Structure 1
Amino acid sequence: MDAPPDGRLPKGWTRLAALAWLGLLVLAVVAWRERALFMDASFQAFHMLLEERLLIYHYRFCNALSQILPLAAIEAGLPLQAVLFGYSLNVWLLYFGLWLLLHGVLRHERLAWVWLLFLTLISLDSFYFIPPELFQGIGWMLLLWAWVARRPDMAGWRFWLVALVLAATFTFAHSLVPLVFFYCFGWFWLDRRGWRHRRMVALAALVLAVMVAHELWFTDWYDAMKKEEFWRHARQYWPRYHELPANGRFLAKAVKFYYLLPALALLMSAVYAWRRCWLKLAWMWGFGLAFVLLLHIGSPATAYRFYSEANYMPLSVVVALPFVFDGWAAFRQMAQRPRWAWLWPHGTLALLALMLAVRLNAIWHNHDHFVRRLDWMVETVRHARHAWQTNRVLVPKARAPMDLIVMEWSVPYESVLATALIHPDSAGEVFVRRDFERFRKWLEDERQGWFLSEFDQLPADTLPDRYIRLGHWPFRLVE
């Protein structure tokens, strides 16, 4: 039942992974509305309906692969329900497709497990946050390492062409992904003597060159803004980084929400101490703590749980990579003793099954929050129709249930699509903002109905009539 580090695992591992993917599919199908109408997904779904084309933002080209089914539904003239359902399903298919490439094509079952654990280990709100290119980028990055394991000599132009395409894909996906690549680079360098050669260094240089090219020629306003915020906070808190408010909040979240992350970190610390792998222990903790510090400098307050969680997700790779290689090897070694014979493979498989069951259950129980936030928007528009004979509502941020709606900028897109799901004529908008002075000229226009948001000010007549019919009703302010 044993397996070499990159060899085939017992069939039970594949069956368990298949059950986990089936569970994720069921969740994606049941929660299609809540996933497709949360934050960036609602913005992109709205603009797909409006523009009927692939949408690429901030040069994150990989995101086009998540839009195939919703655009096909739009092209086929299917109802809004099919478009949004297709969006939720498309993201699951993309993630599952990456797993099939890792597991079935490149035959690296352990890296396929790293990918599955990345998607489940601490995911809570992140399951409902479907467009993040960061998640996609991690998958493409793991594919590169599976490609290296497939051809460890790293020879030939085909190897380097594939490596270049994958490096460009994950580097352009999100600026954090190359950092995780270099964590994996350091871990494999410590783990495998056969990989310590000049071509391995050349691979790191290739990724670094793509990073430089991205920085020089493909940095837009959003990335520039984030970098400016990072350096401003770095100067503000220097050298008192231990006083960053996010530090204490992260520890609280790690215990309450992300408990499997510290649990695996402590487990692997014990394994590395037992096996005297001090360099690997230092690398895992050193990189993990440095990564957290980097995130906290960029966002000292971490005001939004879902947003900080999405950025913490790469920490799953930091602990999952050692776990599936060295952790399982340690369990297999311990199982050689009669009293520990149960530990491999059955005990390890049971541990994995328990971890996945716990996390899928947590994701499901978090579903109610996302249902209630959309229900609040639908009910707000319904109340406006009955009380004020309009379908457009201005809600001051101080009056809005911010713990429910999370971030206000996306509410116009979420509300108009959530109400349009009932019927195109039922479409209405909820606009939440601290004040509305910036939008006075549109609000005072009584002849033309408008769709208003931070990023779009569109005449209602320009919206796709097949899906959204806002009409020319005025906005009413909630006092």
Structure 2
Amino acid sequence: MAALLSLGTLAVLVIGALVFWKERMLLCDAPHIAFRIINEQTLQIQQFRYGAFITQSVPLLASKLHLPLQTVLILYSLSFNLFYFLIAAVLVFRFKTYGLAVLIGFYYTLFASDTFYWTNNEVHQGIAWMFLCFGYIFSPRKQRSFVATALVLLFFGGLAIITHPLVLIPFVFLWGFFLIDKSSWPYSRQQTLALTIIVATLVFAKLIISKTNASYDSSMMEGVGGFSLRSIAEAFTSDMALELLKHTVKNFWIVPILFVAGIVALLKRRKLLLAAYTAMFFLAYFIAVCMTFKGYLAFYTEGELMAAAIIAAAPFVYFVLPQLKEKQIVLFVALIFIVRLAYIGVSSQKFTNRVGALNKVLQQMHRDNLTKLALLKDEDHVEPIWMLDWGIPVESIMLSALNGDPVQRQFIILKPGEGNRVEVDTKHLVTTDIWRIDQLNQFYFHFDTTQPYLIKSYKDYIR
């Protein structure tokens, strides 16, 4: 019943992806990736995160079929949550790994509110690949051949880990959790050693790749590279720690309840090692987040926290739920998912307002007969309505095209002193890159090649 409730919750999120497609597809990374896919007609794998091919293939195929831009973006929005739903369905109906099916539902909801609208965090796709891998390996339905198990671990486990470095933490945690528990561990000592060597090799390979070849991942890893007693103490008193505490009280309060209930259940059953192991991982994750990230941006930070839901909820799923009666399970699990879905729904308003703010500027540009506009800020500060403003160049293009403008309008927000960014000739377009207009996909986009970028004061124009 808990697994079916989890699957039903993921189905609701699929519907949410359809209802709020515009809010999701006009936020930072999603339009940026979609714009590059449409214009370059190829996948846009970044930082070696290859598992993202599963969702990127959707807008690529849709654009190759010349489907309308709105359809391309709706399908792209759906692709994320439909993928997660299908993985959960495989866990429930094919592998019968009901505990994993509940955990995947908790992963996508317990820390999620604003982050539901930020789709392109590859960690979510990596986690889905991880659950598919573990679903096969720990399926109780029939004995798997060891060779097949090793190959699945190598391929799907490798795909999960390569897709995002954060996947390493829940992947290693669950591997150790099942190994210590032993109740669902079907492998001999020799097989366990061989499989664990594969896991260790995958983890080591990902760390090397991220450290030496993935600039963004490497910069994030540097934040936790200097573990010391002093840095750990500073993490507990950091601004991020205070923000996490504040948001846990008003948003993520279900997580500590599940965590404490699970630890108490382990202690009652004298599973002291498993309790200590879970507590250690959860504490280490908290410290790592506080050391790595310096500011709390809701949709971004929630995405980085979500892996902790697996650690916090695993004892509850495997040692509390099985002891409850069916009616109690339905009541508790349904209540958890309903509360979390409510938080996600309430968060939609700020993203709807954000789309409205984009539209307001485009409408003002229409009245002023402008096609390219650069708004220069007086100070390096992002207005709360935008959350982040680096993606606005492409967001405005996408929204203009969706609005049916025969020639797309675009505006850019510049930091003080960045006016030279738009010093290009009229045949070039500025986003995070410089594009030649005649090389863009003419089926979807048409740009003016006579007007240069007009620079105006942000404060004066946004009124």
Using the size of structure 1 for normalisation, the TM-score is: 0.87
Greater Cα offset, 354-363 or 458-467? 458-467
Question: What are the superposed Cα offsets for residues 361-409 of structure 1, whole Å, 9 maximum, x if unpaired?
Answer: 2111111111111211121122123236344232427497621211122
Cα distance in 2 for partners of 1:121, 1:239 equals: 27
Distance 1:433 1:236, change over 3 A: farther
Question: What are the superposed Cα offsets for residues 316-358 of structure 1, whole Å, 9 maximum, x if unpaired?
Answer: 1012221221011232xxxxxxxxxxxx101111111111111
Distance 1:83 1:217, change over 3 A: same
| Partner residue in 1 for 2:264 | 270
- C-alpha displacement at 1:155, in angstroms? 4.9
Of 54, 59, 64 in structure 2, the residue corresponding to residue 70 of structure 1 is 59
Letter in 2 for 1:477: K
| Partner residue in 2 for 1:417 | 398
**Residue 210 (structure 2) pairs with residue 210 (structure 1):** no
| Partner residue in 2 for 1:302 | 295
| Partner residue in 2 for 1:141 | 130
Cα distance in 2 for partners of 1:308, 1:113 equals: 23
- C-alpha displacement at 1:41, in angstroms? 0.9
Letter in 2 for 1:147: Y
Cα distance in 2 for partners of 1:241, 1:350 equals: 37
Kept in 2: contact 1:154–1:160 (CA 8 A):
no
| Partner residue in 1 for 2:217 | 223
Cα distance in 2 for partners of 1:238, 1:115 equals: 30
| Partner residue in 2 for 1:259 | 253
Of 16, 19, 32 in structure 2, the residue corresponding to residue 30 of structure 1 is 19
1:111-150, aligned counterparts within 5 Å? 111-150=100-139
Runs (5+) with no aligned partner, structure 2: none
Kept in 2: contact 1:400–1:432 (CA 8 A):
no
Runs (5+) with no aligned partner, structure 1: 1-11, 332-343
1:297-336, aligned counterparts within 5 Å? 297-299=291-293, 301-331=294-324
Cα distance in 1 for partners of 2:378, 2:175 equals: 45
Measured on the aligned residues, the alpha-carbon RMSD in Å equals 2.5
Distance 1:424 1:285, change over 3 A: same
Question: What are the superposed Cα offsets for residues 147-181 of structure 1, whole Å, 9 maximum, x if unpaired?
Answer: 22237977532221111001210110111212211
| Partner residue in 2 for 1:402 | 383
- C-alpha displacement at 1:68, in angstroms? 2.5
Of 73, 76, 95 in structure 2, the residue corresponding to residue 87 of structure 1 is 76
Kept in 1: contact 2:32–2:394 (CA 8 A):
yes
Secondary structure of 1:29's counterpart equals helix
Kept in 2: contact 1:424–1:469 (CA 8 A):
no
Kept in 1: contact 2:370–2:409 (CA 8 A):
no
- C-alpha displacement at 1:429, in angstroms? 1.9
Kept in 1: contact 2:375–2:455 (CA 8 A):
yes
1:373-412, aligned counterparts within 5 Å? 373-387=354-368, 389-396=370-377, 398=379, 402-412=383-393
Kept in 2: contact 1:424–1:466 (CA 8 A):
no
- C-alpha displacement at 1:15, in angstroms? 4.8
Secondary structure of 1:425's counterpart equals coil
Cα distance in 2 for partners of 1:238, 1:372 equals: 39
Cα distance in 1 for partners of 2:61, 2:235 equals: 48
Distance 1:429 1:234, change over 3 A: farther
Distance 1:102 1:370, change over 3 A: same
| Partner residue in 2 for 1:432 | 413
Cα distance in 2 for partners of 1:233, 1:46 equals: 40
Secondary structure of 1:240's counterpart equals helix
| Partner residue in 2 for 1:47 | 36
Secondary structure of 1:95's counterpart equals helix
Kept in 2: contact 1:70–1:83 (CA 8 A):
yes
| Partner residue in 2 for 1:4 | none
Cα distance in 1 for partners of 2:371, 2:413 equals: 16
- C-alpha displacement at 1:29, in angstroms? 0.8
| Partner residue in 2 for 1:8 | none
Kept in 1: contact 2:7–2:89 (CA 8 A):
no
- C-alpha displacement at 1:14, in angstroms? 5.5
Distance 1:302 1:235, change over 3 A: farther
- C-alpha displacement at 1:312, in angstroms? 0.5
Kept in 2: contact 1:381–1:391 (CA 8 A):
no
Letter in 1 for 2:254: L
| Partner residue in 2 for 1:9 | none
Using the size of structure 2 for normalisation, the TM-score is: 0.90
**Residue 349 (structure 2) pairs with residue 355 (structure 1):** no
Distance 1:426 1:125, change over 3 A: farther
| Partner residue in 2 for 1:477 | 456
| Partner residue in 2 for 1:372 | 353
- C-alpha displacement at 1:426, in angstroms? 5.3
| Partner residue in 1 for 2:162 | 172
The alignment covers a number of residue pairs equal to 451
- C-alpha displacement at 1:100, in angstroms? 2.1
Greater Cα offset, 147-156 or 222-231? 147-156
Kept in 2: contact 1:125–1:309 (CA 8 A):
yes
- Aligned identity (percent) is 24
**Residue 243 (structure 2) pairs with residue 249 (structure 1):** yes
- C-alpha displacement at 1:201, in angstroms? 3.1
Question: What are the superposed Cα offsets for residues 199-218 of structure 1, whole Å, 9 maximum, x if unpaired?
Answer: 22332221221222234456
Cα distance in 2 for partners of 1:101, 1:73 equals: 25
Letter in 2 for 1:298: T
